[in-house]
Amino acid sequence: MPPFFKYKKQKVHTDQSKDTQDSANHHVPEPIESSLSANLDSIKQKTGHSSDIIVRTIITGNTSLHKASVVYVAGLVDTQAINEFLIEPLQTNHDLLEKLYQQDGLDKVTKEFITLGSVHPVTNWDELFLSLMSGDTIILIDGSNKAWSASSKGGERRSIQEPSTQVSVRGSKESFTESIGTNIAMVRRIINNPDLWIETMKIGKVTRTDVSIMYINGIAKTEVVDEVRKRLKRINIDSILESGYIEQLIEDQTITPFPTIFTTERPDITAGNLLEGRVAIFVNGSPDALLAPALFIGFFQAVEDYYSRYDIATATRFIRVLAFFISLIGPAAYIAITTFHQEMIPTQLLIIVAAQRDSVPFPAFVEAIIMEIAFEILREAGIRMPKVIGSTISIVGALVIGQGAIQAGIVSPATVIVVAITAIANFATPSYTVAISARLIRFLFMIIAAVFGFYGIILGFIMLLVHLVSLRSFGVPYMTPLAPFIPKNLGDTIIRTPLWAEKIRPRLISSTDNPVRAGEDQKPAPPQKRGMKKKNTR
């Protein structure tokens, strides 16, 4: 979209992409030699004689003895599979190596002998190391300037566990693991459709991490998929350690506290979003999938909303949005009311608050800031605390902040209540990332409330809205479908309409060619045998 005036930024972008292309063109990979010993030597040399690189040389053959080597990295591979399906056939089947020397040897070998998954030829060192380091097994044969890479990924990994941050009472209890293959499979298991397309690429100059884009062809918007691909290709960085790296490198807007990409650890959420036309990005080693484009309202949608009935879902979602507001302006409103707008609360309430505040030495703002900061420290300490000490901290926190501070007369009970409600409200937001941004913005609101009261809060609120509205996630306005207002898609915002009434996919996100997601007449009804509508035929 055309921003009002932004020239310089675009220029910078084009320059950078040129640079990356140039550097990629200059690099010419070295080919593999035909001497086995020379190849083994250079492997050892290039890996610095690392002890986890295992080389096994096998001598076999009927007519003449042939040498072959199997190279793999200990721990990354499934050793049993290599022994059973690779080394054993090589040692026992003497025809094998001979056949390898013949024409089309590879085809035959893979078809007839090697019972491992996929085997493909490798001709240069770059490719060789890429597959070796990602857990494949390399087969080198004396006299051939080709190597074969057999897929043998394995080794110790965390098994599939219950989700830890996006917990739900109802629904699947699986969460993603660190293995990209497992993660993709988990989504495939939910969407059994050939239109679920996956593209994989390696990103990170040093780490060469596997990154996959997943989308449903025909539902996802082609422009968005292209944009995601383009942005991923643009990344030129040493390492991708977590999906957070990718997220920060492909965002639309960097100066904002709000996330413009959705992260999830649940396969069912991922599947649901794919079905709305979003693109998922998986990063090897990260148990979080990225989903784009993200909408602001999406951060308030918990997975259970879709599993439970619509009335309950609507009510809970309403509560969540309310909680977000409270966590944003709760303390600010308290400050504004007690220092500027005492006329706005009922007399009895004012008397109670005034009685509490009478003996407190600080202005309301300072009091609230002290409590907020104390709370933030407690929370930060709680996250990184060994679990054993966790309870100690919460006791100390509750005692010191709750009881002690009030009894010492440093803060008033009303402030504690406000801070506590705000803190609890903050946890009601299903998305951790948005909850954090609310925490941050809360302090700004408190400051402006202390200076200007409600006037400041309202202006701050307008500015926040303007900011939110100006954000875009992969070209889609962040506040869709509220602004731009799309009445047909309102069914899944602050309210959630019944599943049988939601007939259309989100307009700006999914492909426009194929917008219908449910058939006509989906509303369930009881069999019409009894009741008022039809007379009982007897």
Chain residues binding other proteins by CB under 8 A are 1-5, 7-9, 255, 338-347, 350-360, 363-364, 406-407, 409, 412-413, 447-448, 450-456, 458-459, 462-463, 465-466, 469-470, 477, 479, 482-485
How many whole angstroms separate alpha carbon 297 and alpha carbon 280? 18
| Residue closer to other proteins, measured from CB, 8 or 533 | 8
If you ran DSSP here, which 8-state letter would residue 164 be given? S
Which residue, 274, 303, 290, is CA-closest to 187? 274
Task: Give least dist CB 369 to other proteins, A.
Answer: 14
| Residue closer to other proteins, measured from CB, 264 or 338 | 338
- Tokens (6 digits) for 106: 């590879």
How many whole angstroms separate alpha carbon 459 and alpha carbon 467? 12
Task: Give least dist CB 459 to other proteins, A.
Answer: 5
| Residue closer to other proteins, measured from CB, 244 or 363 | 363
How many whole angstroms separate alpha carbon 264 and alpha carbon 244? 12
Task: Give least dist CB 472 to other proteins, A.
Answer: 11
Which residue, 287, 335, 324, is CA-closest to 302? 324
| Residue closer to other proteins, measured from CB, 302 or 353 | 353
Task: Give least dist CB 445 to other proteins, A.
Answer: 13
Cis preceding-peptide flag for 484 (omega within 30 of 0): yes
How many whole angstroms separate alpha carbon 469 and alpha carbon 461? 12
| Residue closer to other proteins, measured from CB, 485 or 500 | 485
> How many CB atoms sit inside 10 A of residue 309's CB?
11
Task: Give least dist CB 483 to other proteins, A.
Answer: 4
| Residue closer to other proteins, measured from CB, 396 or 463 | 463
Task: Give least dist CB 36 to other proteins, A.
Answer: 58
| Residue closer to other proteins, measured from CB, 370 or 451 | 451
Asked if 370 and 406 touch (Cβ cutoff 8 Å), the reply is no
| Residue closer to other proteins, measured from CB, 84 or 223 | 223
Task: Give least dist CB 154 to other proteins, A.
Answer: 50
Residue 317's Cβ-count burial label (10 Å; 0-12, 13-18, 19+) is buried
CA–CA distances in Å: residue 22 to residues 29, 229, 236, 347: 15, 19, 12, 72
Task: Give least dist CB 468 to other proteins, A.
Answer: 8
CA–CA distances in Å: residue 250 to residues 459, 467, 509: 31, 19, 17
Helix (H) or strand (E) holding 385: none
